[in-house]
Amino acid sequence: YTLIVSQDGFDEDVQHLLKTSHPKVPYLLHNRIVPDKVEEGEDISPAYYAIASHYGFALSTLIWDMGFENVIVLEDDMSISSDFFSYFENTYPLLNQDPTLWTISAFNDNGVPSFASDPSALWRSDFFPGLGWLMTRKLWDELGPKWPKGFWDDWMREPAQRKGRATIRPEVSRSSTFGEEGTSEGQFFEIIARIQVNKNPIDFSTIDLSYLKKELFDVTFEKAINNSVLAK
């Protein structure tokens, strides 16, 4: 894997950290763009527009300019599990086999211990979680030309972008965030902090993941729903 850091803006302390602690890691510098005005009806939250601009810059540079076919996106306030790469390596082929899938995420928004217990279980989800996810060249060729000016993650969840496609995500998260402070000012952090990264590594190369293809998953999922017990 090639690790590349993309820095938004020119903070000297961040640059110093990269050059001294990780001198061999290549990094990109993005000239932070914060709009002074937005179109009528849009919310003016400058930081969210800066984030979307940075994402667009980084993905365009890595895929269109540097020629990467796939990019796993992580943020600087995240930690990952020891089987994080095994998870992506072995789920990625499904994107080429099933057109009803569009990306893979390492995070489960409902992955608190009371709801998530099986580290080997993977699911299809209509909701795009983000927080450690895969962008393919094919998908960037589709989304890149119309990338939004702000609120990129909400934009990706809109029907016009998702087009009925599903995201693969684990039952037990392979990523977690410790970013209590930031652009969102800790919104929902009390809940997100309860979602722990997986501590029981799984070798996904030993598991047949074809059950995640739509024609197989839907049958199994429907059967599970029909056989479930109504909670009272």
Give catalytic residue positions: 153
CB 7 within 8 A of CB 16: no
104 to each of 54, 166, 178, 219, how far by Cα in Å?
A: 21, 9, 21, 21
- Phi/psi of residue 74, nearest 5 degrees: -125, 155
CB 205 within 8 A of CB 141: no
Cβ-Cβ contacts under 8 Å for 78 (sequence gap 6 or more): 131, 132, 175, 176, 177, 178, 179
What is the sign, positive or negative, of the torsion defined by CA atoms of 168, 116, 177, 22?
negative
